[in-house]
Amino acid sequence: MNCRKVRKNLVLFLDGELPSSEAEGVQSHLEGCEACREEAELLRSTLSIALERARQKQAPPSLDNFASLFWRKEREQRGKDGLLPVGRLFPSHRRVRVTRYGVASVVALAVIGITIFAVRQGDKRGTPSGTGRSAIEVRKGAVVPPATGNLANIEKQLQELEAAVGRLRVPATSGTSFTGSEMREVYAAIGLAAANNYRNVLDMGDVAAKKYAHVASLFPGTSAGQQAEKMLSHLN
Amino acid sequence: MGKVKAEVDPDFDLVERSRAGDTAAFDELVSRHYERLHALIFRLTDADRCEDLTQEALVLAYRNIDRFRGEAKFSTWLTRIAVNLCRSEWRKRKKQRERRLDDIPREAILERADSNRKNAPKAMMEAEKGERIDHEIAARPPKLRIAFTLRYVEEYSPSEVAAILERKLGTVRSRLFNARQILKVRLRDLLR
């Protein structure tokens, strides 16, 4: 083994991480090469003085009541930013952070988005598409559905959905942000509304069934999840 | 997806219970990991704020526990959160330092640098030597400092360091190699 290869492997050798065959090669090279031996010694001793110092420096003792301080910090933080990191939003698996006040627009946009997609699918299938696709207007998170065509029904869907979200706000248990279970209700409500759209607005029962099954399996125990289950058994 | 189950992760049950909303279970996780996390954050930031940062790391873990999918051990995931917090603390401090430097007149900076140069050849006392080592360790690029601290001070194995940093083993090894070379160059004069 030459000096270049030995230098390359010296740190691994000193840390005891070199496979034994290579370690033997390094060892025998070191016995015969003074320059490499010095290099190894230098690496070893600089590490040891650095570690000696690092271990002398002890962190200040942590407070006795750190557990209760932790919960206080948790509450403070939640109150401060009003944000609750939420899990994965189905079915796109995108992570989103939403505020309580942003929820309604997120919900509305999701429904509109899902419906536009559905209408486009409907176009391909030759169902009446209405005239309103380009008439959708989104302003500062507020959705203005067009007055004609299939999409007119969205307004009703949206009102139902917003009412559902509104109901979620009433028993606010967590200051300014939704709790995890409230968010689950919101997601389930979005899913249910989308499924209802497929069934009632677009008359696509097979797609609706899939969506209901998705909501029921993903959000068991939520009211929308239970409703989805009922709809599913009804469709079947 | 290979999950780290109960037999390899001693925290597995507590994590599952915390996920289901059992706050006492998370309390137990806090007790188990507080000291270790606190010491690591102290070493990475030398901060007066290390108590705060430790709590912040745990709050983040608590609020994101649904995202922990058990692909690594809970302690690895928690350490990753702490390391990321330390990184953002450094970034904040760097910005503050730059702002402070902007406020100081240029002449004052030059004057101070000059006086430092004059005082440099003083015989180095033991305490100064310690400070010098601290400085050399802290002065390395953050990537190298983190890898070095986790591997040699906290004594994680190279593959554990790779899991914490979400990097390949080869990347970690190369960071350790570079960290050791820098240390060797900067501290060699202390050996004489």
CATH code, B128: 1.10.10.10
A170 reaches B (C-beta below 8 A): no
- For chain A, give the percent of residues with pLDDT over 70: 52
pLDDT exceeds cutoff 80 at A146? no
Residue A27 is predicted with a pLDDT of 93
Residue B137 is predicted with a pLDDT of 74
Residue A29 is predicted with a pLDDT of 94
A67 lies in some domain: no
A43 reaches B (C-beta below 8 A): yes
- Is the preceding omega at residue A91 within 30 degrees of 0, hence cis? yes
| Residue A185 and residue A121 share a domain | yes
Residue B157 is predicted with a pLDDT of 94
| Residue A199 and residue A124 share a domain | yes
Q: Which residues, in sequence order, are CB contacts of A65 under 8 Å at separation 6+?
A: none
A220 reaches B (C-beta below 8 A): no
pLDDT exceeds cutoff 60 at A105? no
Give the CATH number, domain containing residue B40.
1.10.1740.10
- Domain region containing B64: 1-103
Residue B177 is predicted with a pLDDT of 94
| Residue B98 and residue B20 share a domain | yes
Mean pLDDT of all residues in A29-41: 93
CA distance A130 to chain B (A): 41
A218 lies in some domain: yes
ipTM over 0.95: no
Rg over alpha carbons for chain B, rounded to the nearest Å, is 20
Whole-angstrom Cα distance, residue A112 to residue A93?
A: 18
Number of domains in chain A: 2
Contact predicate A194/A165, CB 8 Å = no
| Residue A89 and residue A52 share a domain | no
Number of domains in chain B: 2
- Domain region containing A136: 84-235
Residue A156 is predicted with a pLDDT of 59
**Which of B43, B60, B129, B133 has the most A C-beta neighbours within 10 Å, making it the best mutation to test the interface with A?**
B133
Of B35, B180, B190, the CB nearest to A62: B35
- Average pLDDT across chain A, whole number: 66
**Tens-digit pLDDT profile for residues A198-209:** 777 666 777 788
| Residue B98 and residue B178 share a domain | no
| Residue B85 and residue B5 share a domain | yes
Residue A176 is predicted with a pLDDT of 46
**Which of B58, B60, B148 has the most A C-beta neighbours within 10 Å, making it the best mutation to test the interface with A?**
B58
Kindly give the parts of chain B with pLDDT less than 50: 1-2, 123
Of A57, A62, A74, the CB nearest to B34: A62
Beta carbons of A85 and B63 less than 8 Å apart? yes
Contact predicate A180/A84, CB 8 Å = yes
Mean pLDDT of all residues in A102-115: 51
**Tens-digit pLDDT profile for residues A37-82:** 999 999 999 999 888 888 877 777 766 677 777 777 777 766 554 4
| DSSP one-letter string for chain A | --HHHHHHHHHHHHTT-S-HHHHHHHHHHHHH-HHHHHHHHHHHHHHHHHHHHHHHSPPPPPPTTHHHHHHHHHHHHHHHH-EEEEEEETTTTEEEEEEGGGHHHHHHHHHHHHHHHHHHHHHHHT----S-GGG-EEETTEEE--SSSTTHHHHHHHHHHHHHHHHHHTT--STTS--HHHHHHHHHHHHHHHHHIIIIIS--HHHHHHHHHHHHHHSTTSHHHHHHHHHHHHH-
Look at residues B103, B136, B162 and tell me which one is the last residue of a structural domain: B103
Residue A106 is predicted with a pLDDT of 52
Burial of B117 per CB tally in 10 Å (0-12, 13-18, 19+): exposed
Question: Is the whole model's pTM more than 0.80, yes or no?
Answer: no
pLDDT band at A1 (very low <50, low <70, confident <90, very high): confident
A78 lies in some domain: no
Whole-angstrom Cα distance, residue A39 to residue A42?
A: 5
Query: Among candidates A120, A157, A156, A158, which has minimal Cα distance to A142?
Result: A158
Q: Which residues in chain A have their CB less than 8 angstroms from residue B152's CB?
A: 47, 50-51, 54
| DSSP one-letter string for A54-101 | HHHSPPPPPPTTHHHHHHHHHHHHHHHH-EEEEEEETTTTEEEEEEGG
